[in-house]
Structure 1
Amino acid sequence: MDSEHKHKVLASFNIRSLGMIVVISDVEFGFKKGMVLKSITSKHYWEVRSRILHSSYEKRFDGENEIISIANIRDVDSLKNRTKTIDSYEYIIKPIGHHEKPISGDFLVFTVTVAVRVIYKVTDIYDDYLLLDINNGDTGVLHKKYVADKVQIGDYVRHCEQKYHDLVDEFGNFICRE
């Protein structure tokens, strides 16, 4: 399920020591570590790793993982004023299943895939995530920690009450691999 609230990408870039950075506007409540963002245009996914703070004047959100960046002292006043005008913030993100950064002008939405009362087919396996076909070619991602270790491409997953997803075949029969 994708959220209705869209966050505009103002810029994105790579910094060798930090990784992929995205500057996002219209952030109301912040993004906790592990949240997944999805591009409206490209349908690519990114996992939020942490927020970059440049000064103590920036707005903070509960539960965010933060990294403090050293800012040039001459820029502190501009940072103080900037946060009041456009609510844009910088986040370190990790691509899921690709190496692309978000494109300026694109919109990102918070996304979550929960297989409630339905089964979803595993179409690809990434480092920490499974790519799922959730609706005739529309995709979703699910962290591997919620599924059996022996999952394979072509398997299906189904939600159960403990937030752990059952590994099943296309008819909903349990799969147990040793």
Structure 2
Amino acid sequence: MNFNHKHKVISSFNVPTLGMIVGLSDVEFGFKKGMVLKSIASKRYWEIQSRVIHSSFEQRFYSETEIVTHTNIRDINALKRREEIINSLEYNIKPIGHNEKPNLNEFLVFSVTVAVREIYKVIDIYEDFLLLDTNNGDTGVLNKKYVSRNVQIGDYVRHCEHKIHDLVDEFGNFIMR
């Protein structure tokens, strides 16, 4: 996790047709679909689904997946206040392993778990992600598409040079399934 690039939650709400929306400050280059945010305070995770665009005047980034919305005239003042905050953008997010939205004023950081030198124990399995114990009292997530579909809770994962990570035992010995 990079704590130097924190993003403050300036709005957080659910929209029946779009799902969970979060407004973040200090977004410089946009966020790609599939990137994972982690709360510094609650340790919860969310996956970026798309950027929410309200007007054609908003800054856009090539790498982002976008949803264009029509703003209700009653919301214009809120939109102006949001645009006054430097580099604030809204994103559609999906919770990983819970149903909570981020809290106002909490900080989110991007979370990348790469098991390059260590092995990580799988402690829970969600729809698209594995929850990993990173051996330092913290957790990490890894997209299931990078691990054998036979992965189970209690297995260990080690980084592999190929696209799929290895399933190993607690000593790092390769397991064939």
Q: What CA distance in whole angstroms lies between the structure 2 residues aligned with 1:92 and 1:13? A: 10
Whether the aligned pair in 2 keeps the contact of 1:58 and 1:80 (CA below 8 Å) is no
Deviations 1:118-143 (A, max 9, x none): 10111110000000011232100000
| 1:20-169 → structure 2 map (5 Å cutoff) | 20-72=20-72, 79=79, 83=83, 85-169=85-169
Change in 2 beyond 3 A, CA 1:117/1:85? closer
Change in 2 beyond 3 A, CA 1:103/1:75? closer
Q: What CA distance in whole angstroms lies between the structure 1 residues aligned with 2:175 and 2:135? A: 22
What is the letter of the counterpart of residue 97 of structure 2? G
Q: What CA distance in whole angstroms lies between the structure 1 residues aligned with 2:124 and 2:78? A: 44
Q: What CA distance in whole angstroms lies between the structure 1 residues aligned with 2:132 and 2:82? A: 39
What is the letter of the counterpart of residue 25 of structure 1? S
Change in 2 beyond 3 A, CA 1:73/1:104? closer
Whether the aligned pair in 1 keeps the contact of 2:9 and 2:25 (CA below 8 Å) is yes
What is the letter of the counterpart of residue 128 of structure 1? D
Whether the aligned pair in 1 keeps the contact of 2:156 and 2:169 (CA below 8 Å) is yes
Structure 1 residue 50: deviation in Å? Answer: 0.3
Residue segments in structure 2 that go unaligned for 5+ positions in a row: none
- Give 1:15's aligned residue: 15
Q: What CA distance in whole angstroms lies between the structure 2 residues aligned with 1:151 and 1:87? A: 40
Deviations 1:1-40 (A, max 9, x none): 4452000001111111111110111111111000000000
Whether the aligned pair in 2 keeps the contact of 1:33 and 1:50 (CA below 8 Å) is yes
SS in 2 for 1:93: strand
Structure 1 residue 81: deviation in Å? Answer: 8.4
Measured on the aligned residues, the alpha-carbon RMSD in Å equals 2.0
Structure 1 residue 84: deviation in Å? Answer: 5.9
Residue segments in structure 1 that go unaligned for 5+ positions in a row: none
Q: What CA distance in whole angstroms lies between the structure 1 residues aligned with 2:78 and 2:172? A: 57
Q: What CA distance in whole angstroms lies between the structure 1 residues aligned with 2:108 and 2:78? A: 26
Larger deviation: 69-78 or 55-64?
69-78
Structure 1 residue 83: deviation in Å? Answer: 3.4
Deviations 1:84-132 (A, max 9, x none): 6422111000000011100001000011110002101111100000000
Count of aligned pairs between the two proteins = 177
| Length-normalised TM-score, structure 1 | 0.92
| Length-normalised TM-score, structure 2 | 0.92
Q: What CA distance in whole angstroms lies between the structure 1 residues aligned with 2:78 and 2:95? A: 30
